[in-house]
Amino acid sequence: VEALVVEMQDPKSGLKFEEQKLVTTTVPHAIAEAKAFGTMMVAYGYIYPLQDHKRLILKVDASLYRFQVTLETLILCVQCPELPLLRKHASNVTLTLCTCGIAQTPYFWPVQHWRAEDTDYAIYLAKRNIRKKGVLELYEQEHYNNLHKWMNHKWDFIVMQAKEQYRAGKERKKSDRVVLDCQERAYWVVHRPPPRTASAMDYGLDRLIDPNAEENKTVDYYRRIIIFNSQAIMRPKVKSTVSLGALVKFSSTFKNHDPFLAPCLPSNPWLTDDITYWELNLPRVEVPTKMRVERWTFNFMELLNDPCGRADFRLFLKKEFSGENLAFWEACEDLKWGSAEAMKEKAEHIYKMFLAPGAPRWVNIDGKTMDITVKGLVHPHRYVLDAAQTHIFMLMKKDTFGRYMKSPVFKDAQKKALSPQPHTFTNAQLEQNARNRKPGIHPIILHQQEEEEKAKLAASGPVDIKQIMSKLDRRTDLKK
């Protein structure tokens, strides 16, 4: 910013201000950028408003032409500690300002490295006090009293400096004095902001570790780099065309589902205050919408992540007698993300239910994976079932998912799905909606409902393959 302001003040190419209203045509986008930029310049005190000096914000005038700010060609790059790096500009636009602001002289720029010392502030306040008693604002008076208290030892020096500056000021031309006074006042508004205003100098917290400090380059520093890079080199990578193509494809696939790119049906609740859209898309609904069902076809995870989708998939699996795969996957997820305490018990339960020879819901995983898993279960860990879970997941993804898409269960869901019409609210109705805003069902209640459902599902009992087999056997026996 500093460099930019330097350019601005260059009498030939830079700012023309103080009197005129210059009209410069600009590209519409630039006006928006310029506004942002102008706001920053005021906030940091590079330009300060004459009236209303306490609030350092840029006011945009009603008529667009009074306020036209565009950007100037930079020649230098400036690095300053508070503001990020500036880069060379190729564009060539002029920066002009209207009468509402005056630029600060470089002496008072925040980027100057001398810190706004309390001593200086004390001198400034004292000086103003000398000039006219009772001119200090309440917050300034408070500051003054505080400074007087803990800078008492220096007070003679401060008063002397103040008197000196006051005397020197009197010897200047009136116009110079006024300008300097204004600048000084603006400077202190930035560095000692009045209460309940924000200061642009505020940058948040200091970082703990100084990233610019040289790192101690010991043996382990290099070894770690070696270890990391060795594995990074061996890590399989894909060609850019492939991976970028996938990103583009994803974006196109979901385009119609993005509320910012395509309208929500019936309407976006934030725009019309009508919550139909949210009600139709609650986690568990009787009948999902067409858009929702369409998402299930995009990829397997979309299907599983949607409670309705998962329920539909579970229905399909029940008909195929392969429900144990999904149940196993869910149990593994529960183990991974569950609390540490319950882990051991869960792992044992899963083994008994899904992995042990002759288990009621035995899952079919290859010998090697089964071997690793069983060995790991001796000392259970939250990731002990990782290999098995991945195997089952890939099985479902590559095989079962495809068959589900072609199944009558899914086709049925597609047929039944709702297709809400776009809203037809009049302006009056929209106002009515806004007045009737209500908070939704409390998530705690929703959660309780979900837990109840889960319990019901578990209680209904898993399909016991042995029972079914024995039932089938009995039936064939009867037929004989």
Structure tokens at 379: 């000392």
Report which of 358, 357, 350, 395 is spatially closest to residue 376, judged by C-alpha positions: 350
- Give the residue with the Cβ less far from another protein, 92 or 419: 92
Q: Pick from 376, 409, 430, 465 the residue near another protein by CB under 8 A.
A: 376
Question: Going residue by residue from 292 to 311, which x/- string records binding to another protein, judged by CB under 8 A?
Answer: --------xx----------
Residue span binding another protein (CB under 8 A) among the ranges 133-141, 186-194, 261-269, 407-415: 261-269
Q: Which of 17, 67, 277, 354: binder of another protein (CB under 8 A)?
A: 277
As measured in angstroms, the least distance from the Cβ of 79 to another protein is 11
d(CA 280, CA 367): 45
Site for another protein in 38-67 (CB under 8 A): 39-40, 43, 57
Which residue, 225 or 458, is less far from another protein as judged by CB?
225
Q: Are 385 and 347 in contact (CB under 8 A)?
A: yes
Q: Which residue has the tokens 């899952």?
A: 363
Reported as type and span, the H/E element at residue 450 is helix 443-459
Binding another protein (rule: CB under 8 A), the pick from 443, 476, 479, 480 is 443
Among 23, 62, 209, 478, indicate the residue that binds another protein (CB under 8 A): 209
Q: Which of residues 130-159 bind another protein (CB under 8 A)?
A: none
Total residues at interface with another protein (CB under 8 A): 112
Give backbone dihedrals phi and psi of 115, rounded to 5 degrees, phi first: -80, 150
372: which residues sit within 8 A by CB, 6+ positions away? 387
Is residue 428 within the footprint of another protein (CB under 8 A)? no
Least distance in Å: CB of 11 to another protein? 24
Residues 314-353 interacting with another protein (rule: CB under 8 A): 333, 336-341
Q: Among residues 260, 424, 460, 480, which is the contact residue for another protein, using CB under 8 A?
A: 260
Q: How far is the CB of 107 from another protein (least distance, A)?
A: 23
Q: Tell me the residue ranges of DSSP E strands in 5-65.
A: 47-49
Residues 444-473 that bind another protein (CB under 8 A): 444-447
- Report the residue number, 441 or 472, with the smaller CB distance to another protein: 441
Single residue of 9, 16, 26, 35 touching another protein by CB under 8 A: 35
Count each helix (H run) and each strand (E run) in the chain, helices first.
Answer: 22, 2
Q: Which of 261, 356, 468, 469 binds another protein (CB under 8 A)?
A: 261
Q: Which stretch binds another protein (CB under 8 A): 163-171, 267-275, 402-410, 424-432?
A: 267-275
User: What is the rounded CA–CA span in Å between residue 140 and residue 159?
Assistant: 17
* One residue of 62, 242, 428, 478 binding another protein per CB under 8 A: 242
392, 324 contact by CB (below 8 A): no
Minimum CB separation from another protein for residue 247, in Å?
Answer: 6
What minimum distance in Å lies between the beta carbon of 322 and another protein? 19
Whether the link from the prior residue into 266 is cis, omega within 30° of 0, is yes
d(CA 391, CA 385): 10
Give 349's contacts (C-beta < 8 A, 6+ positions apart). 331
Among the residue ranges 116-124, 381-389, 401-409, 460-468, the one whose residues contact another protein (CB under 8 A): 381-389
Q: Which two tokens stand for residue 160?
A: 């002397």
* Position among 54, 172, 255, 403 found at the interface with another protein (CB under 8 A): 255
Smallest distance, another protein to C-beta of residue 174, A:
36
**Which span sits near another protein by CB under 8 A: 13-21, 136-144, 148-156, 277-285?**
277-285
Q: What angle do CA 99, 101, 106 make, to 5 degrees?
A: 130
Question: Token pair for residue 374?
Answer: 């069983």
| Shortest reach from residue 469's CB to another protein, in Å | 33
| Alpha helices per DSSP H over 192-266 | 219-234, 240-253
Residue 369 is a binding residue for another protein (CB under 8 A): no
Q: Note whether 229 binds another protein by CB under 8 A.
A: yes
Contact between 21 and 98 under an 8 Å Cβ cutoff? The reply is yes
- State the Cα–Cα distance between residues 409 and 252, nearest whole angstrom: 27
* Cα gap 329→390, rounded to integer Å: 9
Cα dihedral across residues 139, 143, 144, 146: positive or negative? positive
- Contact stretch for another protein (CB under 8 A) within 125-133, 241-249, 351-359, 417-425: 241-249
Q: Is 26 in the site for another protein (CB under 8 A)?
A: no
Whole-angstrom Cα Rg for the chain: 36
Site for another protein in 72-131 (CB under 8 A): 83-87, 89-91
Is residue 361 within 8 Å of residue 330, measured between CB atoms? Answer: no
Of 2 and 184, CB closest to another protein: 2
Least distance from C-beta 362 to another protein, angstroms? 22
Least distance between another protein and beta carbon 158 (Å): 31
**Is residue 161 a contact partner of residue 123, using CB atoms and an 8 Å limit?**
yes
SS (H, E, C) 414-440: HHHCECCCCCCCCHHHHHHHHHCCCCC
Closest CB to another protein among 217 and 406?
217
Task: Give the pair of three-digit tokens for residue 370.
Answer: 């089964």
